[in-house]
Amino acid sequence: MNPRLGIACLSACALIALVVAGAGCSKGYGTGVTPPAPKASPSGSPAPDVLYVQTSNGKVIRQYKGASTDNGLVIASAVYPTGDITNGDVIYDPVSDTLWYAEANQSNKNEIEMWNQASTKTKENPNVRVTVPFGEGTASFDGNHHLLFAANTQSADVAVFANPETMSTGATPAATITLSISDGASPRPQEMLYDAGTDRLFVSDENTVVAVFDNFGTNAENAVTTQTNPTITPDRYLQGLFSPDGLAYAPPPTDMLFIGEQGKQNDVVAIQNASTFNGPVSHQQLVTGFSSPGGMAFDAIRGLLFVYDTTPIYVISNAITASGSLSSLQQNGSVKVIVDGTAQQNIGFGISLQTDPIPPSPSPSPSPSPSAAARQFHPPGVSRRPTPPARVAHPAPPISN
């Protein structure tokens, strides 16, 4: 299967009709049920959950603020033009406020596009375009070692860019790592997911396995420092999968990996104890009924799994225990959808989620006196951190593409 290069040919009107009418039991809202009216994402400072979604037919990345509460047709709060029709990865780093997009093209300009101060921009072209000699498609960011990984769509090579938050147009890879994945075919990275907390890289190879690389960021940093191009063998394999593609990870103590299987299965399977799992996957816990599950993102604060499925983005509540058909989960209210409320629907793969701690809810009991509050919450030597004000949603004007 070509890496995310298929472009859907449905018209925008047909796509909207699909979502509203609920054609098929696993899509939309069901016949006779009216979806919520389009709404604008909250404006102002970034919400605790901000979703960045690549759309190939619209040639943009869309930003949705407050994505955990969205359901139905939503107007994006910002857009970032890519000029690209392939299904590349989207990566956002909230620390440096940098947005990257790795094109999956195989024969055109092959760029990594980059926006600085991304949260303050809309409708602006990338600040930096880094040209690479191959279509990268899948990419991942290591904020601990300040490394950007971009995989070749036609081989098992991964380009490593050092300090990508500050790279310029002429940047070149500081090292190249070859992933020696054994799968009885011609494996190459279909999707890469790096978890900074465990220094671990998960790689789906499009055929039957997800390879697991421990200490990957540390090894990549060593390759950059020593100016070497090593070949690295996986520490473990998750085997017996069906065209694995999109990945999402619930970090320890949950330690669960979500894998989007495509082809005939079109499901999302959950793997418990993912850091140590080795061997065949049992497929005991999975959500079925997707059209072609692509990019995914997990919100560890709220337990939500975002799944990019052709046009809608499904939001699955209680994802670490979710199992069954997509239609049944929708009927019991544990699945919502995000569909862009413009003529150009979301069709693509790339997705990135920023999550911050949820502001504390006001206490229902009377507040203690200032002196009591100081004794109770602020012992000597501990500075006081003011309670953030409640976020107020102000509708933003619709943004056309």
Would you say 52 and 61 are in contact if contact means Cβ atoms under 8 Å apart?
yes
Domain assignment of residue 368, yes or no: no
Domain assignment of residue 123, yes or no: yes
- Out of 193-207, 305-319, 367-381, which region has the weakest mean confidence (pLDDT)? 367-381
Domain assignment of residue 300, yes or no: yes
One-letter amino acid for residue 309 of the chain: D
Domain assignment of residue 388, yes or no: no
- The predicted pLDDT at position 107 comes to 54
Q: Which two tokens stand for residue 112?
A: 């990594």
How do residues 46-85 score in pLDDT, each as one tens digit?
A: 567 999 999 998 999 999 999 999 999 999 999 999 998 8
Instruction: Provide the pLDDT confidence category of residue 109 given band limits of 50, 70 and 90.
Output: low
Domain assignment of residue 1, yes or no: no
**Residue with the larger pLDDT of the pair 267 and 17:** 267
Residue 37 has pLDDT above 60, yes or no: no
- The predicted pLDDT at position 46 comes to 57
Domain assignment of residue 238, yes or no: yes
Average pLDDT, the chain: 80
Domain assignment of residue 114, yes or no: yes
- Out of 12-26, 128-142, 190-204, which region has the weakest mean confidence (pLDDT)? 12-26
CA angle 63, 158, 211 (to 5 degrees): 90
Residue 2 has pLDDT above 80, yes or no: no
- The percent of residues above 70 in pLDDT, for the chain, comes to 75
Number of domains in the chain: 1
111 lies in which domain range?
26-359
Within its chain, how far is the Cα of 204 from the centroid?
15
Closest CA to 103 of 74, 138, 127, 68: 138
**Residue with the larger pLDDT of the pair 292 and 358:** 292
Sign of CA dihedral 295, 299, 305, 311: negative
Q: Name the CA radius of gyration of the chain, rounded.
A: 21
Q: Which of 22-31, 129-138, 255-264, 355-364 has the highest mean pLDDT?
A: 255-264
DSSP, residue by residue, 211-241? EEEETHHHHHHHHHHHT---EE--SEEEES-
pTM for this model (two decimals): 0.80
The CATH code of the domain that includes 154 is 2.120.10.30
